[in-house]
Structure 1
Amino acid sequence: MITVNYSGKGEGTLDMNYTLSSLGAAAARGEESMVERVENLRIHAEDFERLSGKVKYVTTTERFKDVIKTFNVQKGEIPAGFRVETTLLMDGTLHTDLIRDISYDKNGMKRPTGVVFSADSANPYEIEPIAPLLGNLTCNPGIIYDLFLNNPAANVGRKFKTREEVIKEIGRILGPGCDISVELNNPFERDFEKILDECERFKELVSEYRLVVKVPHTGPITADNVSQLMQGNKRFNGRYDQCSTEAAFMSHNLALKLREHGYRVNYTLMFEPYQTALALQAKPYFINSFIRHRMKQSEIFKKLTEEFDATGDERYLTELRAFMIENDYLPVEETGLKWCYEKAKDIIKYRKFNEKDGSDGLDSVRHNLKLLRQTKLRDTRLILCSMEGDYNYPDIDRLMTDPDYEDVIERVVITAEPKYLARFTSTNQVISYQRRFMNAVNNDSNVGKMG
């Protein structure tokens, strides 16, 4: 097999470049219309030399044909979300294939940046304005049901009645270049066949090429105790880190099993860096770093422990304990104040919250990027998710320009609510300049009318 780096028209280098058609090989009989879609893809000079004289015929794989058919791709084009790969056989036939890769726009062109953007939404009305810019969309039951389907302000006139209707419409809006991560309704389902049935329905709605099955980490929660989260005070009666080995790895095994059945998996709910290496053993397509809540909790831990250190007043520790119970660090109020204080201090230290690499809340991102660099999973990407406020995205944007991570930037996906990302498209000076420009045009128009 000879691996060739193909690039789209307009993406050549200053060196001499050739196209696939420069090899002078004919399309295999019946393959003309398919081969026409790739014949103008560019080949670097060294790859041309390697292939020259070796290729007799060019053909396309069954997957290539199925992709074109699935997305009803316009004549002469290949869709966004796929890279071109070829295999040269001993008989001189060059097999051309389309491999799912959201780093690519249509016709073999790379996206404008290594970083891919994603949206957290199931609202077709807010997805549509940003759709052409996205490489992924993620939605979980809370996003689908709470924020859209059962929200009259979002689901105007209750036009959409079911999850299936929403997912189908989202797929129509996004087009072939965007992955769609859809979360299982019930990861605690004991019958794996029922989970497979749900995944098959997802596949019917968005196609196997775009579907990524979202599997949430379940921690100590199991089919036997999940009812605690839905009844009474809805509190779990145990600690998050005290569970059976079977429970702890239940979601890992589910994600791995789905992978073995051919599904790409978005394995989610990674809040602490120490979760990631074990989660990667499930061979996920997407792994996640959650930012918002983790950073806010760190700020409160720091504030309350420092107030106690300065005053010795135990009311700060009482407040700390209540906060830890509310956020599921603790199951009951009987936990001692000293334990809460020491636990909060340990968390602040682990998260490097008093250090340069952690004060922005991105220590987990830095850690996970380093892990990603080491992984043997070629297509696995890191999703940076759950952001809010004035600084989360700008701090991430700054981190993405750090030369320490330039070798893994193309494996990063930034996801947030569309409205949050929209905040960072503009600045105050945009208004200032538009005022100047539009008044200049208006004045010129008035002068013309006066003449």
Structure 2
Amino acid sequence: MGVAIRLSIESVLNESSGVVILPEDKGFVDAVLGQAITPAEYRLLSEAARRITVTDHFRDVVRDFDCPEGRTPAGFRIEGRLERDGQLVFDLIRDIGYEENGRRRATPLIFSADSANPYEITAIKEMIGNLTCNPGIIYDLFLNNPKANVGGKFATREEVMAEIGRVLGPGCDISVEINDPFETNIDRVLEEIAPFEQTLNRHRLVVKIPHTGPVNRENVGKLLSGDGRLDRRYDQGDTDDYLHGHKLALELQKLGYRTNFTLMFEPHQAPLALQARPAFINAFVRHRLIASQRFSRDLAAFDASGDETILLRLKEFMIANDYLSGSDQDVPLTRVAGIARTFLKHRRFDSAEGADGLDNARAGLRWLKTSNLPETRLIICSMEGDDNMPDILSMLSEDEFREMQGRVVITSEPNYIARFSSSPQVVAYQRRFMKAAQSASQAGAAR
């Protein structure tokens, strides 16, 4: 039996190799010396390397997070390249799959929190690699909620995000959604982003950009007044409107920002979203599954009975949930049934592929697998109930998707994620253990 010998960058530093570290580099280079290398890499570096150093970006990252000498912050992987002049140069690449000193997280799969409540995320901070929020989460669920924002301690979005950054530390990406996704002046968008870039720094800031569909600057006011109904259906927009979010995300990407492209509910949204080169795409689960279940149930009841009142109620549901527009009150019931059947067909609801509502996630992973964007991850979001989390974890254990676990982020409210750490048997066993401990304690006291 052979003996396993572990080699590292430090192994190359011997008298025969002639590899040097300049004094001004030592505090930074010490952080990479423990990185493992293969025997082939050892032979190559022993022969070709002359100096070990780091990039200016490496130095900036370490300084930005005030990292102790000889360490690198969480949220970065360490990569080296051997240049023609014999310099072995190391850099830090943003990657939430890594902890301090380039150590991989416990699993490729990453969990995330949908929250802007610093108190709420404190309990889960060691378990997550990402946090995502939108204006509803920031304002409705926290800032303007006295029960959450205890004593009104936080007054602005910027104050909240600064505290969240402090709580989570460098290893978590933080997605912040802009308040006005319909802005066409990139300078104004950058002005809104600037405070977060300063507070969170660009390393962990992710700018969340939503699909805009048929909504634009001129008609968005309809969503904010009256019954909140748009007068055009989701599939009656203009090309510029549909692709506004894509273009904004791509422009930000070209300026060096990572983006989280959100509001993806159907499988066909993924390949177009990837054209914007985002760091994250999304697959929403909860509301679309509820809608599909309603479509299936009502259509089956109508087909069995011919009762048109079923379709009338279905039409009301579809208007309330924007499958139909506010101007579709007089749409024929045959059209109502046709639209519902089309969604069920595209979602493959009558098959194992879509019955659990995860057809969107499956499609997203397949598109990621064939994309030229190896750093992009899929966020599976918007979950509730007893089945969503177990179904997602079951899907990711399937042969087709097991290798894609490192490209997935599961996000929800912290308590929803945390509840799946438990089981009824946990209570049963704790009862048994605590009774045994109590008996032992009482026996000891009697003696």
Q: Report the Cα distance in structure 2 between the residues aligned to 1:447 and 1:46, rounded to whole angstroms.
A: 63
Instruction: Give per-residue Cα distances to partners, 1:102-140, cap 9 Å, x unaligned.
Output: 111111211111111111000111111001111110000
User: What amino acid does structure 2 have at the position aligned with 1:366?
Assistant: R
Q: Distance in 2 between matches of 1:225 and 1:162?
A: 28
SS at match of 2:336: helix
Match of 2:12 in 1: 23
Which secondary structure state, in structure 2, belongs to the residue aligned with residue 98 of structure 1? strand
User: 2 CA distance for matches of 1:278 and 1:101?
Assistant: 24
Is it true that 1:288 corresponds to 2:282 in the alignment?
Answer: yes
Q: Do structure 1's residue 83 and structure 2's residue 77 form an aligned pair? A: yes
- The 5 A counterparts of 1:79-228 are 79-228=73-222
Cα offset, 1:187, TM superposition: 0.9
What amino acid does structure 2 have at the position aligned with 1:131? K
What's the counterpart of residue 9 of structure 1?
A: none
Name the counterpart of 2:297: 303
- Give the conservation status (yes or no) of the 8 Å contact 1:381–1:412: yes
Match of 1:338 in 2: 334
TM-score (norm 1): 0.95
One-letter code aligned to 1:407: E
CA distance in 1, matches of 2:438, 2:107: 37
Residue identity matched to 2:348: K
Alpha-carbon distance in structure 2 between the residues aligned to 1:90 and 1:270: 45
Q: Is the 1:190–1:223 Cα contact (8 Å) retained in structure 2?
A: no
Give the letter for the 1:258 counterpart: L
Using the alignment, how far apart are the partners of 2:433 and 2:102 within structure 1? 38
Letter paired with 1:21 = E
Structure 2 counterpart of 1:305, which letter? L
Whole-angstrom CA distance in 2 between matches of 1:50 and 1:407: 30
Corresponding position of 1:8: none
Do residues 406 (structure 1) and 395 (structure 2) align? no
2:432 match: secondary structure: helix
Q: Quick check: 1:382 aligned with 2:378? A: yes
Q: Bigger CA drift: 23-32 or 262-271?
A: 23-32
Deviations for 1:350-381, whole angstroms, at most 9, x for unmatched residues? 11111111111111111111111000012111
1:424 corresponds to: 420
Aligned position for 1:349: 345
Give the C-alpha shift of residue 75 in structure 1. Answer: 2.8
Partner secondary structure for residue 79 of structure 1: coil
Query: In 2, are the aligned partners of 1:120 and 1:138 still within 8 Å (CA)?
Result: yes
Residue 434 of structure 1 aligns with an amino acid whose one-letter code is Q
SS in 2 for 1:356: coil
Q: CA deviation at 1:15?
A: 4.2
Q: How far apart in 2 are the matches of 1:356 and 1:412? A: 21
Across the aligned residues of Structure 1 and Structure 2, the Cα RMSD in angstroms comes to: 1.1
Once the two structures are TM-superposed, the CA of residue 387 in structure 1 deviates from its matched residue by 0.3
Aligned to 1:35: 29
> 1:28-66, CA deviations, whole angstroms, 9 ceiling, x for partnerless residues?
231111111111222122322232221111111111111
- Could you tell me which residue of structure 2 aligns to residue 7 of structure 1? none
Number of equivalences? 438
Instruction: Give the SS at the match of 1:85.
Output: strand
| CA deviation map 1:150-174 (0-9, x unaligned) | 0111111111100000000000000
Aligned to 1:274: 268
Q: Is 1:103–1:114's contact at 8 Å kept on the other side of the alignment?
A: yes
Query: In structure 2, what is the Cα distance between the partners aligned to 1:291 and 1:157?
Result: 34
Contact 1:138 1:180 in 2 (8 A): yes
Name the residue aligned to 1:448: 444
SS of 1:333 mapped into structure 2: coil
Runs (5+) with no aligned partner, structure 1: 1-13
1:290-341 deviations in Å (ceiling 9; x for gaps): 0000000000001111111111111100011000100111113111111001
In structure 2, how many angstroms separate the alpha carbons of the residues matched to 1:15 and 1:400? Answer: 33
How far apart, in 1, do the equivalents of 2:445 and 2:38 lie? Answer: 57
In the alignment, what sits opposite 1:434?
Answer: 430
Deviation per residue, 1:254-287 (Å, 9 max, x gap): 1100101110000000100011101110111100
Tell me how far apart the structure 1 counterparts of residues 89 and 164 of structure 2 sit (CA, whole Å): 33
Letter in 1 for 2:12: L
Identical aligned pairs, as a percentage? 49
CA distance in 1, matches of 2:23, 2:347: 61
Counterpart Cα distance in 1 of 2:125 and 2:4? 35
**Distance in 1 between residues matched to 2:173 and 2:85, nearest whole Å:** 36
Range moving further from structure 2, 329-338 or 298-307: 329-338
Identify which of 249, 260, 267 aligns with 2:254: 260
- 1:233 Cα deviation (Å)? 1.6
Find the residue that maps to 2:337 and give its secondary structure: helix
SS of match in other structure, 1:27 = coil
Aligned residue for 1:365? 361
Return the letter of the residue paired with 2:399.
P
* Aligned amino acid, residue 17 of structure 1: R
Supply the AA of the counterpart residue of 1:422.
Answer: A
**Relative to structure 2, which stretch is displaced further, 172-181 or 428-437?**
428-437
For residue 123 of structure 2, give the secondary structure of its aligned residue in structure 1.
coil
**One-letter amino acid of the counterpart of residue 257, structure 1:** E
* 1:322 corresponding residue in structure 2: 316
Aligned to 2:16: none
